[in-house]
Amino acid sequence: MKVQKYNSDYIETLKMYKQAIEEANIAVWQWNPKKNVFFASTALKAITQYDINSFNSLFSFIKKIAIHEDRESAINDLNFFMEGKVSFYRSEFRIVTKANELKWILFKGNMIKNENGEVNSIFGVASDITEEKNSKKAFVENVYYDSVTKLPNRDLFLIDIKNILQKTIYLNQEGAIIFVDLDNFKSINDTLGHDFGDLILKVFSQLLNICVKDYGNLYRLGGDEFIVLIEKFDSIEKLEEICNMILDYCKKPFEINEKQLYMTTSIGISIFPRDSYDANDLLKFADLAMYESKARGKNTCTFFEQALSESYTRRILIENELKEAIKNNEFSIVYQPQIDALENRIFGFEALLRWNNKKLGFVSPAEFIPIAERTGIILDIGNWVLNKVCKKIREFKAKKYRFNNVAINVSPIQTKETNFKDKIINVCKENEIALSLLEIEITERTLIELNDEKIADLYELIKKGINISIDDFGTGYSSLSYLTVIPINTLKIDKSFIDNIEDEKNRAVIECILNLSKSLKYKVIAEGVELKDQLEILMNLGCNIVQGYYFSKPVGEDELEEMLKNN
């Protein structure tokens, strides 16, 4: 008998391979399905803590130690390989070791067949990939999950929606994106701090999960914006039911750190593939529908319609054109007289901004001012108006025209500027006009949302002679008690009250405002007076300074000067 002899180099090489495999914690295994014999190197016992000799097949191994959630898929991987559906065996699954540890294990292998095509042997390697999986999980959580709420983020949403879109189109189904936004969340962050804001987001995300867990997946896009991704729904009514459930939950106060907060949400919905086949479009459409909910008064839901997209396109065009409007000399100011009906003379004027754009034509302030405020362009526009009006006041006073003051509307964005007070004073000084010739009009909501520092600034402006009026009084908080503590000296009664002045209740409210204003020594101006009957009722109630079409529409500078010549 001839004995095979190996040289020392070959033996040394085998030892090196064996050592490398053992140090890499890689197990070598072999399974003979015909004889029900399963063999594995000692490394597999080191990974699992099980006696490998107790298993007679790879199937019995998987059934014994694979966790319940992964067992079926692991068995399927092996069956697919043995049936020839895949050319190479690969399977990742979690196991519970004999020491009750949870690990990830990776099996890779191939097979040898006999001349009849029957499987003689399946062999391969197995390795512990727990550390790799945990690192990958940490990476995924860092990249694809929100750190505050632990919800999947925008990036993962875009991955998921693209996959679901393909499936939905293939199966001829419909799905939906529900865009949920907390109303007035920024003011909570500003007043109570970001840590408190994060607590609210955590609580709100838990509430949303309760509402939608049976219908879809929840994501946090960022800030106070959340998305519910619904892969399939039965009817529009079901979507409305989900949204109404969210709105109803928000009717209850949020109890956080012994504070009770009432919060509302605005919701927008886009449907796929009905509204679009594109993930980014669907997200934009749901966002547009959500903003429409805010425009409708918040605390409601809106389905996307094509008209909203057209509105969005116009809004973007307005925003872009506004950026160059001052440079292109597109703004102008018109003035509406405020009449002292008792003396039959012009008391003052309100300066009103107008915009005529080459592409858009005349754009209403009601349309472009909110866009200017949201983009911050209002600050440049406000400075332009302030300078323009003060120059006109100086020009008219130089001509000895008689009037008390000119009012300009001031955005809440302007009042929050650090140099707001100084800017008002300096512009008046630069134009050498008395501060009492200028009146700034601010809405009720703006005044109430100002912090103590800004309220102190307004008090200082009043002390220096600037007039401060509440515009559209009665349409905001409508609480008369706060009039005793905020810095104002003029009230402007809103047109909506004047329109219905013949109604007994409206008249009673106007009379109440006038009596309180008289006690507080506030000047009162009635806006929107269009009829002689309205004027007569107002004068009988003791309000003689009025503004409205009954006397004059807003006029240009030339017509304004003619009025002042005859005043």
Could you state, in order of their start, the residue ranges of all structural domains in the chain? 8-134, 148-304, 318-565
Q: Which residues pair with 26 in a beta bridge?
A: 127
Categorize the per-residue pLDDT at 419 as very low, low, confident or very high, splitting at 50, 70 and 90.
very high
Categorize the per-residue pLDDT at 309 as very low, low, confident or very high, splitting at 50, 70 and 90.
confident
Range 194-217 average pLDDT: 87
Range 147-165 average pLDDT: 90
* Distance (Å, whole) CA 492 – CA 490: 7
| pLDDT per residue as tens digits for the range 522-545 | 899 999 999 999 999 999 999 999
What per-residue confidence (pLDDT) applies to 15? 53
pLDDT at 484 over 80: no
| Whole-Å CA distances, 407 to 331, 433, 466 | 17, 14, 10
What per-residue confidence (pLDDT) applies to 398? 93
pLDDT at 7 over 80: no
Range 45-71 average pLDDT: 91
Least Cα distance to 365 among 408, 420, 307 occurs for 408
* Distance (Å, whole) CA 107 – CA 126: 4
Residue 431's identity, in one-letter code, is N
Range 328-343 average pLDDT: 95
Q: Crossing angle, helix 420-430 and helix 378-398, to 10 degrees?
A: 30
If one looks up domain 318-565 in CATH, what number appears? 3.20.20.450
What per-residue confidence (pLDDT) applies to 420? 93
What per-residue confidence (pLDDT) applies to 14? 44
- Structure token pair of residue 321: 């054109």
Structure-token match 């895949």, residue found: 86
Q: Is 129 exposed, middle or buried (0-12, 13-18, 19+ CB in 10 A)?
A: middle
pLDDT at 301 over 90: yes
pLDDT at 561 over 60: yes
Least Cα distance to 176 among 245, 228, 244 occurs for 228
pLDDT at 222 over 50: yes
Dihedral angle over CA of 529, 535, 538, 540, nearest 10: 180
What is the CATH architecture of 148-304?
2-Layer Sandwich (3.30)
Residue 226's identity, in one-letter code, is F
Class of domain 8-134: alpha beta
